[in-house]
Amino acid sequence: MENVFAAAQATHTDEQRMLLENFRRMAETELAPLADKHEGLGHPPEAAALKELFARVEEFGLISGLIPEADGGALIDRVSYGILYEELARVWPDLAIAVLIQSHAAFTLSLLGNPGQKAMYLDPLLSSERIACTCISEPDVGSNVREVKCRAERQGDKIFVSGQKLWISNGAQSDFSIVVCNLDDGISMVIVDRETGKYESRELRKLGLVAASTCELFFDRSETTSDHVLGKPGGGLFQTLKLFESARVFVGLTSVGIAQAALECAVTYARDRHQHGKPIAGHQLIQGYLADMATQLDAARLLCQRGLQLLDLGVRCDTQTSMAKWYATEMAVEIAGKAVQIHGGNGITKEFAVERHFRNAKVMPIPDGTTEIQKLVIGRNLTGVGAF
Ligand SMILES: Cc1cc2nc3c(=O)[nH]c(=O)nc-3n(C[C@H](O)[C@H](O)[C@H](O)COP(=O)(O)OP(=O)(O)OC[C@H]3O[C@@H](n4cnc5c(N)ncnc54)[C@H](O)[C@@H]3O)c2cc1C
């Protein structure tokens, strides 16, 4: 396996190769056992443990890597960051999702926050002292972000946020939320601190990524102040779409990591398992599967890497990031499904890791815009005609 992918990695710089080797060593020795432990427990790490994990991966820049040095970040180019992120997703995709939420909350604060907001909320994210979540979805608001119902009411200098949010990653462990809600100026992003806002969370049990927190959040006149409006009052919708543009590539890369892990399992099993007098790898139909899986995986990876390059260039690239997101997440479902098939009966048991990879892969075509929504974005950008 190493040899097959060595040629593809020849495009990495020496620095990227060294960074990846060091990170892989740490991830396989420290994170992989924790991934197994939490899979067995069936629930996410507690807040204190998650903060320790964030601090550990931040040693490689995975929390602050998207943030400029002027804001206390360790800005690294997105392609290098993406190489490490994919490796984290290969070893523990549940933690990768938590890191994606934390790093993109930091990214949003760095982009939109004023100096006071940065001191109060960005700095403690970068030092892993606090955990953030971003609340867009609601029970009646999924793909239709424009129809957010959550309300924020101004009373003097105070703002009271009321409403229910759904599917919120890192919701259980969060110290504060960036809430997309209706303020009198229109859809806005408002920071609600858990200490003063006293919002409640309820963990949802999922098919896959069971160690990534996904919550229902309840805001009942949750108190915050007018200096907690993030970015332009009324600019929340545009700000959310900009956040999606970057986050979508990382959702795609999460799937690339999951699919890579599934392919590795399939290749090993196909070599070891003998039927009809030879390894099943020696049967042409199995080799055909493996060739398809490796090709789809590489195509998905390349689309994601291209998305990262475009984001670094700072050009509008929602078409390309939507392509990367839908293709990578759907391909991972196919790849992990074939990996299960290659394992025969063993593939559907919890004794073999492919069962977990398949369940994890199936989650990913949904968050940050479903496959259908990504195709509608691409179609609208191609034709100028909205079909939502
Ligand atoms: C693991 C996970 C983590 C998440 N994390 C967060 C988070 O941190 N913060 C957050 O705010 N949200 C989060 N989400 C929510 C996620 O973004 C939504 O689930 C997603 O946007 C889809 O919304 P929905 O589930 O309400 O589906 P719906 O919008 O109800 O869609 C249901 C189905 O209808 C399709 N559909 C909808 N509209 C159209 C249309 N116009 N044309 C064709 N088909 C359509 C969809 O593609 C889908 O197949 C997360 C979700 C998951 C699964």
| Cα separation, 367 vs 104, whole angstroms | 14
Look at residue 9 in the predicted model and tell me its pLDDT: 73
Look at residue 4 in the predicted model and tell me its pLDDT: 61
Other C-beta atoms closer than 10 Å to the C-beta of 37 total 11
| Cα separation, 152 vs 224, whole angstroms | 10
Q: Kindly tell me if the per-residue pLDDT of 148 is higher than 70.
A: yes
Look at residue 185 in the predicted model and tell me its pLDDT: 87
Which of 101, 104, 137, 174 has the most ligand 1 atoms within 8 A of CB, as the residue to mutate?
A: 137
Q: Which two tokens stand for residue 159?
A: 């703002």
CA 238 to chain centre: 20
Q: Domain spans of the chain? A: 2-126, 132-234, 237-383
CATH node for 132-234: 2.40.110.10
| Cα separation, 269 vs 261, whole angstroms | 12
In this structure, which residue's CA is closest to atom 51 in ligand 1?
Answer: 367
CA 102 to chain centre: 9
| Cα separation, 294 vs 1, whole angstroms | 10
Query: Could you tell me the distance, in angstroms and rounded to a whole number, from the CA of residue 166 to the centre of ligand 1?
Result: 10
For domain 237-383, give the fold: Butyryl-CoA Dehydrogenase, subunit A; domain 3 (1.20.140)
Does the Cβ of 363 fall within 6 Å of ligand 1?
A: yes
- Tell me what the mean pLDDT of segment 231-248 comes to: 93
Q: pTM, whole model, 2 decimals?
A: 0.98
For domain 2-126, give the fold: Butyryl-Coa Dehydrogenase, subunit A; domain 1 (1.10.540)
Contact 104, 247 (CB under 8 A): yes
Q: What are phi and psi of 27, to 5 degrees?
A: -65, -40
Query: Could you tell me the distance, in angstroms and rounded to a whole number, from the CA of residue 214 to the centre of ligand 1?
Result: 13
In this structure, which residue's CA is closest to atom 45 in ligand 1?
Answer: 372
Does the Cβ of 353 fall within 6 Å of ligand 1?
A: no
Does the Cβ of 102 fall within 6 Å of ligand 1?
A: no
Query: Could you tell me the distance, in angstroms and rounded to a whole number, from the CA of residue 144 to the centre of ligand 1?
Result: 9
Contact 211, 204 (CB under 8 A): no
Nearest atom in ligand 1 to 373's CA:
47
- Encode burial over 10-23: b for 16+ CB neighbours within 10 A, e otherwise: eeeeeebeebbeeb
- Tell me what the mean pLDDT of segment 153-178 comes to: 98
Look at residue 1 in the predicted model and tell me its pLDDT: 57
pLDDT in tens, 7-25: 667 789 999 999 999 999 9
Contact 125, 170 (CB under 8 A): no
What separation in angstroms does the CA of 270 have from each of 64, 77, 283, 339, 348? 40, 37, 9, 10, 16
Other C-beta atoms closer than 10 Å to the C-beta of 194 total 18
Query: Could you tell me the distance, in angstroms and rounded to a whole number, from the CA of residue 369 to the centre of ligand 1?
Result: 6
pLDDT in tens, 359-385: 999 999 999 999 999 999 999 999 999
β pairing state of 274-275 and 229-230: unpaired
User: Three-state SS across the chain?
Assistant: CHHHHHCHHHHCCHHHHHHHHHHHHHHHHHHHHHHHHHHHHCCCCCHHHHHHHHHHHHCCCCCCCCCCHHHCCCCCCHHHHHHHHHHHHHHCHHHHHHHHHHHHHHHHHHHHCCHHHHHHHHHHHHCCCCCEEEECCECCECCCHHHCCCEEEEECCEEEEEEEEEEEECCCCCCEEEEEEEECCEEEEEEEEHHHHCCEEEECCCCCCCCCCEEEEEEEEEEEEHHHEECCCCCHHHHHHHHHHHHHHHHHHHHHHHHHHHHHHHHHHHHHCEECCEEHHHCHHHHHHHHHHHHHHHHHHHHHHHHHHHHHHCCCCHHHHHHHHHHHHHHHHHHHHHHHHHCHHHHHCCCCHHHHHHHHHHHCCCCCCCHHHHHHHHHHHHHCCCCC
Does the Cβ of 168 fall within 6 Å of ligand 1?
A: yes
Q: Kindly tell me if the per-residue pLDDT of 194 is higher than 60.
A: yes
Which of 95, 164, 167, 329 has the most ligand 1 atoms within 8 A of CB, as the residue to mutate?
A: 167
| Cα separation, 169 vs 182, whole angstroms | 21
Look at residue 3 in the predicted model and tell me its pLDDT: 58
Nearest atom in ligand 1 to 387's CA:
41
Least confident of 132-136, 140-144, 191-195: 140-144
Contact 357, 339 (CB under 8 A): yes
